Amino acid sequence: MEQHECLAHTENWVKDVIMKYNICPFARREVERASIRYVAIEATKIKAVLKALIDECQHLDTHPDTETTLFILPRGFEGFYPYLDLVDFATDELMAQGYEGVYQLATFHPDYCFEGEPQDSAANFTNRAPYPCLHIIREASMEIALANYSDPESIPERNIAFAERKGSEFFIKLLQHCTKS
C-alpha cells in the first residue's frame, strides 16, 4: 500500500465516520480548520516507532497551528495485542521524554476490542479505524474543549449506544467505504 492511500483512507474515516456521526464532538472544528496532521510511519520496530512518535511531538511543539496528529501505523502492528504493547511503550516514552501532561494518546485499531466486550460487539467500532493509529492530543486543548462541553462524561456512553443501535454491519460497511480509493 502506498503511503498516500493510507493517509487518504484515514482522513476519509475521520470525516465520514468520526465527524459525520459525531463520535468525537471536537473533530468537526479541527477538520474545518485543517489542523489535523496525518502521518504514516513506515517503521515496524518499536524503538523506531517510539523515536518517530517523539519526533512528532517535537513537531507539534513547534507548530501550534497543528492541533493534533493521527500517527498511523500501516504495517507491523496489525495484531491488536502487539499494538496494545506498543501503546504501553508509547505512553512510557511520552513520560520519559517529559511529555506527561502535554500530550496524551487516544488509541484506534481495526480490531479494537474493549476489555470485557466480545470481539464482534458493535461498541468496539467507536475505536476502530482503517489502520492502527495513535492519536496525539494536546492536553491543554482537550481541557479547554471539555470545559466548554456540557456533560463530557456522557460521550463514550452515547457513542456506545449509537454503535449498538446501528450494529456492527453498519460500521463494517463504513470502514470499507473509507478505504475505497
Neighbours of 57 (CB within 10 A): 20
Residues in the chain: 181
Query: 164 is in which domain, residue-wise?
Result: 3-178
Q: What pTM does this model have?
A: 0.94
- For each of the chain's 181 residues, which pLDDT tens digit applies? 688 999 999 999 999 999 999 999 999 999 999 999 999 999 999 999 999 999 999 999 999 999 999 999 999 999 999 999 999 999 999 999 999 999 999 999 999 999 999 999 999 999 999 999 999 999 999 998 888 888 888 999 999 999 999 999 999 999 999 998 6
The beta strand positions in 31-127, using DSSP E, are: 36-40, 68-72, 103-108
3-class SS of residue 151: coil
Number of structural domains (the chain) is 1
